[in-house]
Amino acid sequence: MRFVLVIALSGGTAFADDALHARVEAEAEKTWLDIDPVFAPQLEGLTVGEREVVEKRYKLDRKTVLRLELDQWTNQGDRALPALDVRAQGWHASVRISRDLGFATLSLGASLADIDSQFGFGRYYEIGASLLRTVELSNGRKAWYGLTAGRRKWLVDDDQQPPAGEANAMQLMFVFGFTF
């Protein structure tokens, strides 16, 4: 008794997988991990009740992104309820350029901000830089680590001091984090 094994091969036109193509494009357009190089001032309070952010991103080339942002915020809350934080309001305008260096992402930024609270008011500028590396872990988890450096300078006259509790400052931070 003989067995005959027949294998049929069929040829056809190869089509690109639209889902794969869309995923590759989404990965190419993915947002950058942004870490501010300077902590927020104490005058901003602990919570922000309302925030309006206008952000524009411009892709300068395959590895460079320019981001312009205007953030207007208030923690006034609902006046019918007791306040959860010190009443304050302000705005923050910033520009940031990020470049993928292959092994890490370099970000340079500058901003101008204004704060008005019951404990003080003022305007300041910040400049900073960060070098961050993102690592893909198992199951879609990510980890990142890096170094950030920044400087905040309050815009006051020579004979004045920054608002109470605030100071002109420079910060150097090592950052580490992961998703789980």
Residue 12's pLDDT is 44
pLDDT in 10s for each residue of the chain, 180 residues = 555 444 444 444 444 444 444 444 444 455 555 666 566 676 666 666 777 889 999 999 999 999 999 988 887 766 655 556 667 888 999 999 999 999 999 999 999 999 888 778 889 999 999 999 988 888 878 888 999 999 999 998 877 888 888 888 899 999 888 887
User: Domains in the chain: how many in total?
Assistant: 1
Confirm whether 7 is domain-assigned. no
Residue 3 — φ and ψ, nearest 5°? Answer: -105, 135
Say how many Å lie between the first and final Cα of the chain, rounded: 60
Confirm whether 76 is domain-assigned. yes
Residue 80's pLDDT is 57
Confirm whether 14 is domain-assigned. no
Query: Do 112 and 75 contact (CB within 8 A), yes or no?
Result: no
Query: Could you tell me the residue range of the domain that residue 55 belongs to?
Result: 34-178
